[in-house]
Structure 1
């Protein structure tokens, strides 16, 4: 087989997106309409990989001096491949990647593997190829994920929250009221964590307009007032919770508990995984035990997001 690696250009957007949609480990976060919303912050150096002239794989990436990140603005984004990718082919792909990257002046790759819960078919060939090329695991973040078809029951605290929400008459519905959600989210993150949302209100509205079936928001309402909200990134088999926000009133009345129950029972009951996201800081070295416990009380258990450092010298 002849493997060729070429840098992405804007003219490649359509074949890139078409390949992503048919891949075994790509999600809409790796489509150009999502990646390019923050193109001004990163020097894009994404790659297309061909076998005998036919597109075999793609790799979202950005350059930072002599370091290639896959991708600095994304949670994950290693080599994305189709159903024909095999272990032997991936070894050839990494040989070609190494040759291309060295010739382009790169000395190191920070590699974010796509977690298995986002795979439609097993796709860990890249992990093996990284091992063969001497890459080292440098970061492991712990996420909390519910196996929807075989989910564990809510813990007692979440059951109590659900009872309170029902007693209070909270109404759960999907909403496009992004301004109300972002006001709530910004206030909660600022007051409780001295932080801000990763996306501005303008950015999330732009992304939601580009991916209206993928980026969705569900709120708990009391007399038309949003007291709790979850922002969902719908990645197909896996549903990812991007943001959770709840006012003091929403916390007292179990707003988040009722939203999660509604999503698991009705909206996403036919999916495989419901992922709450990571509960770690300091490059994965510190576990926020309280946050992890809150997610585990919904019946979630641990999955990991891994990063590798591949020295090219």
Structure 2
């Protein structure tokens, strides 16, 4: 997930231009579509649409999008035809650049199953026209990877290619198919058995702030960075989305050894954060957690994502190998850029 950053004065200005232009609704007569910036009065209709979109994720719901509204200026769009919503695009704006979405791992044009390829081409043209009319010069587009789709949904990629978008980054994400997972490396399997024999057990927990303190210490010590979420923020989000956000901890005798925060959608369980103590590393606590997730908790889930395995410096062979030892293989997270005007 993208790290949070403060919005600048120029970002706020760009947002006012985007959201408060007259008229606030742009009619695209040729396409028969109306594009409008999201407003608070749209909240219920937005969330209802998100619940039925074929490329949806719970973090597109307003209760998640708005938790960091102090850091990301909202520029989300709603596309209507004959009064009904046909597509939405969660987005933020900074310095005249709209991103879908800078505060999320991905975003994109969200649609329901019935929307055809021709209709999505029209939707994308209408969105680009709307942004151009409001002074936006660049759109950064981060579509949801296909594993999150409940039904095929990549017409948007073709539409943005037609519009002239170019690929600007590609990240490698390591993913497991639990029902078909390759056998653990022999060393992993042995560590799991040894750790369990020493009393390491995995349970769901509600101690988000304590776990995020461990995660923050690990990231600061190893990489000099902080997690995207604070402990109180993650506790708030888990309270808002208890069926989608969950913390699993490995403990021995009540002592925290390791943990992971999982984001669960209909088709994917994603490890948002993973951390371990030195004792946990010595005992193989993370091995036990991964075994628990793959073989028990999410055994019937189509995909278990272990997260991005590339960094700003490119391919990280050690990190990729570590995830592959659990049976993971790679998919990509693509980011595109479209120059407008």
Q: TM-score, with normalisation over the residues of structure 2? A: 0.89
Q: Residues of 1 paired with 2:129 and 2:224: CA distance?
A: 44
Q: Distance in 2 between matches of 1:149 and 1:19?
A: 31
Question: What's the counterpart of residue 298 of structure 1?
Answer: 326
Q: 2:100 aligns with which of 61, 67, 70?
A: 70
1:12 counterpart SS class: helix
Matches within 5 A, 1:36-51: 36-51=66-81
Deviations 1:29-57 (A, max 9, x none): 11111110000112111000112221111
Contact 2:175 2:306 in 1 (8 A): yes
Runs of 4+ in structure 1 off by over 4 angstroms are none
Please name the residue that 1:286 is paired with.
314
Secondary structure of the 1:18 match is: helix
Alignment of 1:153-302 (within 5 A): 153-282=183-312, 286-302=314-330
Which ranges in structure 2 are unaligned for 5 or more consecutive residues?
1-30
1:180, 1:226 within 8 Å by CA — same for their partners in 2? no
Aligned CA-pair RMSD: 1.2
The reply to whether residue 106 of structure 1 matches residue 136 of structure 2 is: yes
Structure 2 residue aligned with 1:309: 337
Q: Which moves more between the two structures, 303-312 or 150-159? A: 150-159
3-state DSSP class of the match of 1:143?
strand
One of 29, 43, 63 as aligned partner of 1:13: 43
Indicate the SS of the match to 2:171: strand
Once the two structures are superposed, residues 175-213 of structure 1 have per-residue CA deviations (whole angstroms, 9 ceiling, x without a partner) of 111233123222222222222211001110111111111
**C-alpha distance in 1 between matches for 2:145 and 2:64:** 19
Q: Is the 8 A contact 2:199 2:253 kept in 1?
A: no
> What CA distance in whole angstroms lies between the structure 1 residues aligned with 2:133 and 2:218?
48
Q: Displacement, 1:25?
A: 0.4
How many residues in Structure 1 have an aligned counterpart in Structure 2? 311
1:138 alignment counterpart: 168
CA–CA separation in structure 1 for the residues paired with 2:186 and 2:217: 28
Aligned to 1:126: 156
Q: 2:181 aligns with which of 151, 156, 159?
A: 151
Query: TM-score with structure 1 length normalisation?
Result: 0.96
State how far apart, in whole Å, the 2-side matches of 1:86 and 1:219 are. Answer: 44
Question: Once structures 1 and 2 are overlaid, which stretch shifts more, 253-262 or 161-170?
Answer: 161-170
Deviations 1:104-135 (A, max 9, x none): 11111000011001100011011000110110
